[in-house]
Chain A
């Protein structure tokens, strides 16, 4: 199948999906108050945008998202490098990792609220925890997997300090692996945004909960699609960045 045909087929599939979805409540097979048809979305979207709520919610969520992502991936990369470079550090932390790692990000919500209150910091904390583990393991594995032969090149030219090894060989060589972890984290963090905001931190998640308690299902739908759209945009930008950073690969 060529590319035009597969694109056409994908568009057709989406149209069929929307058509069935539109038809079910209209034919009375589903309650339109519970399952709003897609045609209800544009109008609800315009209402949300005009009132300024949409922009405020999105900006607030994006702020939590990027802050949590930066904090979580920053710590994940730093500690992942330490664990990847130092057997001592890795062994010393092995059981701590085993103990803390399986705790789901959402299980931190009670502490997040106790420590930070229902504040943006609580959302950032929840997001950062989920991101941290993904990036930590990706970085550790990538650093550990660097070709020893390349490290020898650095040593042969006299670069023997840990700092020189890291900057000249380990970090650039591990970048592809770290980027894979970061991309996974990008999706994980988006899920955590909703989870964190559902507990009342202002943002898309909070707005969805408000709308849901009023049975304003069309508004819930607006934000679900908003999240899908924003994630698609972020992921596309990231893939472009990744391609540019890794342009040295065959």
Chain B
């Protein structure tokens, strides 16, 4: 962990009930994320990675434990907005809004003038390299462009934490790699704290400062490694392959224990 703690999760448990059957998804999960840190969360599909993000964004209520997010310094106009913003796996742009209005979506609160909303949205579109597409409709965009717009929409509220839920998994590998690099560039430029869920171990080690492995039913933190490679990174750095191998064996050992 680097810097002061920004997210503090203590003893987090989450269970839901469906048809009278109680399913415990997460239990006894402790995690601290430092300001400016890039944390990737990996694990088998269905293990509860996305559920953890849903708790952090407020779409799911924990049944045990506490989640604390220390509000950081934001522009005065944005201080009342949510401290976290989420990029969904499927971009979930609003199809009836033009690109620029999609990016401005999270800023539409009383007290932020429309001109100010649009100015910020335009700046974010420029940041993700889509300034020219501001007036397009979402259906006119490629999958990669849609995810960039979704990223701009999340960044526009200048969240303390940027949450990303397998944001590149639906893209072809070429687009995926270019978006990964784009994300690293944006992260370096903004110093944003990122919690990034993925099932792609190579992606996790390439992007993150620290990789958390979620395992078990209910899930908790099974392993955790720090990626000792400085930014900017080279995709073909042999250190990534070693770390990925280490993580894979950790994952298969954990799942065979169950």
A and B, one complex?
yes
Residues of A within 8 A of B (CB): 149-150, 152-153, 155-158, 168-169, 172-173, 175, 247-250
> B82-120 vs A: 1/0 string, CB under 8 Å?
100110101010111110000001101000000000000
* CB-contact partner of A156 in B58, B90, B94, B98, under 8 A: B58
Q: Is B74 an interface residue (CB 8 A)?
A: no
24 CB contacts below 8 A, A to B, read: A149-B88, A149-B90, A150-B92, A152-B92, A153-B88, A153-B92, A153-B94, A155-B58, A156-B57, A156-B58, A156-B85, A156-B86, A157-B82, A157-B85, A157-B105, A157-B157, A158-B58, A158-B81, A158-B82, A158-B106, A169-B94, A173-B94, A247-B137, A250-B139
Smallest Cβ-Cβ distance to B98: which chain A residue? A248
Q: Once the chains are docked, how many angstroms separate the CA of A248 from the CA of B93?
A: 12
Smallest Cβ-Cβ distance to B163: which chain A residue? A156
* CB-contact partner of A172 in B86, B92, B94, B139, under 8 A: B94
Chain B interface residue bracket vs A: 20 to 34
> B48-77 vs A: 1/0 string, CB under 8 Å?
000000000111000000000000000000
Q: Once the chains are docked, how many angstroms separate the CA of A173 from the CA of B94?
A: 8
Q: What is the CB-to-nearest-CB distance from A245 to chain B, in angstroms, rounded to a whole number?
A: 9
Is there an interface contact between A156 and B59, defined as CB atoms closer than 8 Å?
yes
Q: What is the CB-to-nearest-CB distance from A186 to chain B, in angstroms, rounded to a whole number?
A: 22
Is there an interface contact between B106 and A172, defined as CB atoms closer than 8 Å?
no
Is there an interface contact between A149 and B59, defined as CB atoms closer than 8 Å?
no
Smallest Cβ-Cβ distance to A158: which chain B residue? B82
Smallest Cβ-Cβ distance to A173: which chain B residue? B96
Q: Once the chains are docked, how many angstroms separate the CA of A196 from the CA of B137?
A: 44
**Considering the complex of A and B, which 10 residue pairs feature the smallest CB-CB distances, nearest first?**
A157-B106, A250-B139, A172-B96, A158-B82, A248-B96, A248-B137, A153-B92, A156-B86, A156-B57, A248-B95
Q: What is the CB-to-nearest-CB distance from A152 to chain B, in angstroms, rounded to a whole number?
A: 6
Q: What is the CB-to-nearest-CB distance from B231 to chain A, in angstroms, rounded to a whole number?
A: 28
Q: Once the chains are docked, how many angstroms separate the CA of A69 from the CA of B94?
A: 30
Q: Once the chains are docked, how many angstroms separate the CA of A247 from the CA of B95?
A: 10
Is there an interface contact between A175 and B108, defined as CB atoms closer than 8 Å?
no
Contact A248:B58 (CB < 8 A) given known A157-B82, A175-B96: no
Is there an interface contact between A248 and B86, defined as CB atoms closer than 8 Å?
no
Known A158-B106, A173-B96; further 12 A-B contacts with Cβ < 8 A: A149-B92, A152-B59, A153-B92, A155-B58, A156-B57, A156-B82, A156-B86, A157-B85, A158-B82, A248-B96, A248-B137, A249-B95
Smallest Cβ-Cβ distance to B57: which chain A residue? A156
Smallest Cβ-Cβ distance to B82: which chain A residue? A158
Q: Once the chains are docked, how many angstroms separate the CA of A175 from the CA of B108?
A: 21
Give chain A residues whose Cβ lies under 8 Å from the Cβ of B90.
149
> B132-154 vs A: 1/0 string, CB under 8 Å?
00000111000000000000000
Is there an interface contact between B139 and A248, defined as CB atoms closer than 8 Å?
yes
Is there an interface contact between A155 and B59, defined as CB atoms closer than 8 Å?
yes
Q: Once the chains are docked, how many angstroms separate the CA of A237 from the CA of B82?
A: 43
Q: For A149, A156, A248, which residue has the most chain B Cβ atoms within 10 angstroms?
A: A156
Give chain B residues whose Cβ lies under 8 Å from the Cβ of A247.
137
Q: What is the CB-to-nearest-CB distance from B148 to chain A, in angstroms, rounded to a whole number?
A: 16
Give chain B residues whose Cβ lies under 8 Å from the Cβ of A149.
88, 90, 92
Contact A168:B82 (CB < 8 A) given known A248-B97, A248-B139, A249-B95: no
Give chain A residues whose Cβ lies under 8 Å from the Cβ of B94.
150, 153, 169, 172-173
Give chain A residues whose Cβ lies under 8 Å from the Cβ of B82.
156-158
Q: Once the chains are docked, how many angstroms separate the CA of A169 from the CA of B94?
A: 8
Q: Once the chains are docked, how many angstroms separate the CA of A169 from the CA of B92?
A: 12
Q: Once the chains are docked, how many angstroms separate the CA of A114 from the CA of B45?
A: 67
Give chain B residues whose Cβ lies under 8 Å from the Cβ of A249.
95, 139
Is there an interface contact between B88 and A168, defined as CB atoms closer than 8 Å?
no
Q: What is the CB-to-nearest-CB distance from A91 to chain B, in angstroms, rounded to a whole number?
A: 21
Smallest Cβ-Cβ distance to A159: which chain B residue? B108
Q: Once the chains are docked, how many angstroms separate the CA of A250 from the CA of B98?
A: 13
Give chain A residues whose Cβ lies under 8 Å from the Cβ of B92.
149-150, 152-153
Smallest Cβ-Cβ distance to A157: which chain B residue? B106
Smallest Cβ-Cβ distance to B95: which chain A residue? A248
Give chain A residues whose Cβ lies under 8 Å from the Cβ of B157.
157
Give chain B residues whose Cβ lies under 8 Å from the Cβ of A173.
94, 96
Q: Once the chains are docked, how many angstroms separate the CA of A230 from the CA of B98?
A: 35
Give chain A residues whose Cβ lies under 8 Å from the Cβ of B108.
168
Give chain A residues whose Cβ lies under 8 Å from the Cβ of B95.
248-249
Q: Once the chains are docked, how many angstroms separate the CA of A153 from the CA of B85?
A: 10
Q: Once the chains are docked, how many angstroms separate the CA of A250 from the CA of B146?
A: 15
Smallest Cβ-Cβ distance to B138: which chain A residue? A248
Give chain A residues whose Cβ lies under 8 Å from the Cβ of B137.
247-248
